[in-house]
Structure 1
């Protein structure tokens, strides 16, 4: 019996003591602080779940802007393409100004007989060869892109005939002519305005096309607050075909730019004749730069 009692005492000493009941319902933390159990359970998301807020739509702080669709002009007519701030900008398009037979004959003559050459131009201080051939006719030299084309008063007879026909059709007079030869689709001219001081205020320019068709593109000058960003400006596309005449009038050179972009698919040669009027530049004015003119009110 003594052995059994001794073994019972030893086994009892190994057993863990049950914790004494306590009146607290909190949870004991390491820093001996107590947290209310009901609050703790609720904060863990098992109770008193919060209902989600209803979706509220807020107007964007900036309005969504869309790029305006490009306008295409290919029918004969007169088009007022914009109004202000410099005045009305106008295009006049005469497809088929020359018959196919006339255009074919004149194109072959001018392609073979005009003194075509490649002009060196300058951009941001760097010299480059223009991606087209040119020649100039007029009593006065013409300067653009920091390069001057000398005067040439010996007009080719075909050019004299064309100048008379263009003047009669438009009611305008011209004393100068810039000829451009686009040898294929790789030749082009970049965005620019014909706004040199020697052209005068709001110049009228008549553009006659011979040879393969090319797209003549225009884009409106952005307002000053756009800081030169052309993303949202109006754009116009004019397919110029063999024998077509396009007249740019009014504020077109002030408020718009134009170009003939590269077209990498098969394109044949194209001659573009741009009739214009050149004035002597004021003494002391740097040639080829734009000058502000003040028109007298009558």
Structure 2
């Protein structure tokens, strides 16, 4: 009988300790939950309670498009949209290199090169290149006018006829550009002056040093002048190369020849175009 009472006391003691331990464990678990709860952010706590949580919209990540390089002969459709199709026709070896050598020397010596002054937002400035204009009509761009020069150099007349025969386009005017060194350039622009009519075709013939001809797609209004994500094209124009821009290229794209930061020999660029009298444009 004494043994039974002793076992009962031991079991009762163990039960008491077990109840106490369980109480401590449960309290500790609730305490841990309370600590975890206090460490949550308001949004996390609301989500845990099943309440609606407003999330800031995820910012759309835009990728800057890679520059497209065009350096092989061919006809390229560079864009197509509501306005129409923009095309480039590239002929890297239009003039044989040996022929191009003597042509360059003759044009360099005999064209009456001059430095044109333009008018910009900050006043008058001199173009960073030399130019010469041929045609029956004057040509106005950048708020200044080049006088007509109807007396074509014989070599220029021959080249005009050759390009017309090959391309099927006829031209009545020519802007000659001489880039004397790496710092000579022309900034972003389009050949879209009213005197050139609708969808002007420009045939660009290059001699001398290879320079990069860069293009970028014009922006929609929502871009607010930020060209970060604009489509871009780079074309190395080499000795004897012919590039024809047609379709909506002048309406939908801009182009430039940028400054460079290493030595460059002179380059001559002949840009054949058609200028219309004002009476035909009205």
| TM-score between the two structures when normalised by the length of structure 1 | 0.77
* Structure 2 CA distance for aligned equivalents of residues 177 and 265 of structure 1: 29
Within 2, Cα distance between the matches of 1:256 and 1:280? 25
CA distances 1:55-112 after superposition (whole Å, capped 9, x unpaired): 99x6853311111000000000000000123210000000110001110000000000
Alignment of 1:160 onto 2:157: yes
CA distance in 2, matches of 1:135, 1:196: 18
Residue matched to 1:141: 138
Distance 1:166 1:159 in 2: 11
Q: Deviations over 1:226-266 (max 9, x none)?
A: 12221111000000000000000000000000000001201
Deviation at 1:282, TM superposition (A): 4.6
State TM-score, norm by structure 2.
0.81
Give the Cα separation in 2 of the matches to 1:60 and 1:180. 51
Question: Structure 2: 5+ residue runs without aligned partners?
Answer: 1-27, 48-54
1: CA distance, partners of 2:201 / 2:62? 34
Q: Which residue number in structure 2 is paired with residue 94 of structure 1?
A: 91
How many residue pairs get aligned? The number is 241
1:50 and 2:29 are equivalent in the alignment: no
- CA change 1:149–1:47 in 2 (3 A) is closer
Q: RMSD in angstroms over aligned alpha carbons?
A: 2.2
Q: More helix by proportion, 1 or 2?
A: 2
Distance 2:33 2:63 in 1: 50
Is residue 194 of structure 1 aligned with residue 180 of structure 2? no
The residue correspondences of 1:109-188 to structure 2 (distance < 5 A) are: 109-188=106-185
Structure 1 residue runs of 4 or more that deviate by more than 6 Å after TM superposition: none
Question: 5+ unaligned residues in a row in structure 1: which ranges?
Answer: 1-41, 284-290, 294-298
User: Residue 277 of structure 1 corresponds to which residue in structure 2?
Assistant: 274
